[in-house]
Chains A and B, each alone.
Chain A
Amino acid sequence: MGFFQDLLHTSRVKSPWLIHFDCGSCNGCDIEVLACLTPVYDVERFGILNIGNPKHADILVVSGTVNPRNAKALKNIYDQMPDPKAVIAIGACGTSGGVFREAYNVLGGVDKVIPVDVYVPGCPSKPEAIIDGVVLALEKLKKRRPEKDTEPLVADLKKAREFYENREDRQVTR
């Protein structure tokens, strides 16, 4: 099994697909995340792709503070990502809430809602720091296994059907 496991771990490190979620950021960090894709930094040479779909992604990159409104959306996106997955909080706001941490509508950093693996500070974070954060997240992601699913698939599907039927209760805006 050693060979296949090593192959899987290498592939995991060599092909991290990111999904970027803006949790109410000022767009400073978002622009720096997108700057990583430009020819200057060119993260595709490490196999990193910016994916728009949580179901295909391995690493969730979150920028901005969390408030009660977008906490639901953030949790939803995190739950849609298949294991193994990692979360990176970007910028002062994503890591701790930043200058907004005491505002009445702010819950705080991303770690108030979902477990965070890597914190990338800065206001905004530099693209080099973001790439470094991805490398750190990969070290954690490498050995992680998909959690053993004790529930059979039928129960999962039943749950998914109920989830779909209750969709109106979960709507953020009515």
Chain B
Amino acid sequence: MDFKTISFVILAIILAPLAGGLLAGIDRRLTAWFQGRFGPPILQPFYDVIKLLGKEPQVVNYWQIFCVHIYLIASILCVALFAMQADLLMIFFVMTIGAVFMVVGALAVPSPYSQLGAQRELIQMLTYEPLLIIVFVGIYFVTDSFKIADILAYDRPIFLALPLLYLVLTFALTIKLRKSPFDISASHHAHQELVRGVLTEYSGPYLAILEIAHWYDIVLILAICSLFWSTSWIGLVILLAVTYMAEIIIDNVTPRMTWKWMLTYVWAVGISLSFFNMALLYAKSF
């Protein structure tokens, strides 16, 4: 590994949570603006996390502490692997390990809210993971490689070849961001229904660690989105801005749905969109 890669990795690990937190702050501000409110300061997510870090650590059992740290390490490792321009499939598996450990931590506690939230989180993972794999396979069909270095070396934007698969990726992004209509496991907007679902039993500093890991995850998924227009900086920024803006608008205009609806809708629409996109790809090559 040369010096350039190492500095890239260190920069990514430092900048990713800052970017994720800022993005969350802008998100809250815009949401407030859509609802006719003034909204919190942009730095609000950082205040929240620092406050949580200063609270008394309170756990039900040791598993929670262990799982939270594994989740954080897996998320950091994903971002580091991305900065190293490693294999997309490798990143996917490491990300899955982190997500599974968060669920295990929630399942280790007898609280019914935590248990129910954990089951729903598993269903969410079941929903978005096949789609992510399909997206990666689509990228492979275009660029002949799972390696990010080779994908970045491809001379045309992949978005032009895989527009429908990009839509499929935004489904995964919406689920991973815990946004409505797929906000069923952590119930960010409906505290009366499930308390905080999978996050219910994590408190104080452990909740802060989960939040930081979540920022890393968001940055990772946005980085995967950015692969779709990696040829020019302007195209990349416009693509990401439009995607995130669409996410916020969808979050504000849709109600929360049930897991059955999520599973059937996302799989039906996602898999058929990917099928059409693959067909398009083959029609072009002949």
* A residues lining the B interface (CB < 8 Å): 7-8, 10-12, 14-15, 39, 42, 44-47, 50-53, 55-56, 58, 82-84, 146-147, 149, 153, 157, 160, 164
Of B38, B44, B202, B207, the contact of A14 (CB 8 Å cutoff): B44
- B41 part of interface (Cβ distance < 8 Å): yes
Chain B 38-72: CB-based contact to A (< 8 A → 1; otherwise 0): 11110010111011011111111110000000000
Interfacial chain A residues near B56, Cβ < 8 Å: 82-84, 146-147, 149
Interfacial chain B residues near A160, Cβ < 8 Å: 60-61
Evaluate contact between B196 and A15: CB separation under 8 angstroms.
no
Of B29-37, B130-138, B212-220, the one contacting chain A is B29-37
Q: How many A-B residue contacts, CB cutoff 8 Å?
A: 91
Q: How many residues of B contact A (CB 8 A)?
A: 37
Q: How far is the CA of A84 from the CA of B196 in the complex (A)?
A: 21
Main secondary structure on B side of the interface with A: loop
| Chain A to chain B contacts (Cβ below 8 Å), 19 pairs | A7-B50, A10-B47, A14-B41, A15-B48, A39-B37, A45-B40, A45-B41, A46-B40, A47-B44, A50-B191, A52-B196, A53-B191, A55-B201, A58-B55, A82-B203, A84-B56, A149-B56, A160-B60, A164-B110
Q: How far is the CA of A21 from the CA of B39 in the complex (A)?
A: 25
Q: How far is the CA of A57 from the CA of B283 in the complex (A)?
A: 57
Evaluate contact between B44 and A15: CB separation under 8 angstroms.
yes
Evaluate contact between A14 and B62: CB separation under 8 angstroms.
no
Q: How far is the CA of A55 from the CA of B56 in the complex (A)?
A: 10
Evaluate contact between A44 and B50: CB separation under 8 angstroms.
no
Interfacial chain B residues near A146, Cβ < 8 Å: 54-56
Interfacial chain B residues near A12, Cβ < 8 Å: 51, 54
Knowing A55-B200, A56-B207, say if A8 contacts B47 (CB, 8 Å): no
Evaluate contact between B62 and A157: CB separation under 8 angstroms.
yes
Evaluate contact between A44 and B200: CB separation under 8 angstroms.
no
Nearest Cβ on chain B to A34's Cβ, whole angstroms: 12
Q: How far is the CA of A127 from the CA of B48 in the complex (A)?
A: 24
Q: How far is the CA of A45 from the CA of B44 in the complex (A)?
A: 9
Evaluate contact between A157 and B61: CB separation under 8 angstroms.
yes
Of A11, A45, A50, the contact of B38 (CB 8 Å cutoff): A45
Across chains A and B, which 8 residue pairs bring their CB atoms closest together, nearest first? Answer: A52-B191, A55-B203, A11-B50, A146-B56, A82-B56, A83-B56, A11-B47, A14-B47
Evaluate contact between A42 and B44: CB separation under 8 angstroms.
no
* B residues lining the A interface (CB < 8 Å): 28, 32, 35-41, 44, 46-48, 50-51, 53-62, 110, 191-192, 195-196, 199-204, 207
Evaluate contact between A15 and B47: CB separation under 8 angstroms.
yes
Nearest Cβ on chain B to A160's Cβ, whole angstroms: 6
Nearest Cβ on chain B to A141's Cβ, whole angstroms: 10
Name the residue on B nearest A147 (C-beta).
B56
Evaluate contact between B195 and A53: CB separation under 8 angstroms.
yes
Knowing A55-B58, A82-B58, A160-B60, say if A45 contacts B48 (CB, 8 Å): no
Interfacial chain B residues near A39, Cβ < 8 Å: 35-37
Q: How far is the CA of A56 from the CA of B199 in the complex (A)?
A: 9
Knowing A15-B47, A42-B37, A47-B44, say if A56 contacts B54 (CB, 8 Å): no
Evaluate contact between B55 and A84: CB separation under 8 angstroms.
yes
Evaluate contact between A15 and B51: CB separation under 8 angstroms.
yes
Name the residue on B nearest A160 (C-beta).
B60
Nearest Cβ on chain B to A106's Cβ, whole angstroms: 27
Evaluate contact between A47 and B48: CB separation under 8 angstroms.
yes
Nearest Cβ on chain A to B122's Cβ, whole angstroms: 21
Evaluate contact between B204 and A82: CB separation under 8 angstroms.
yes
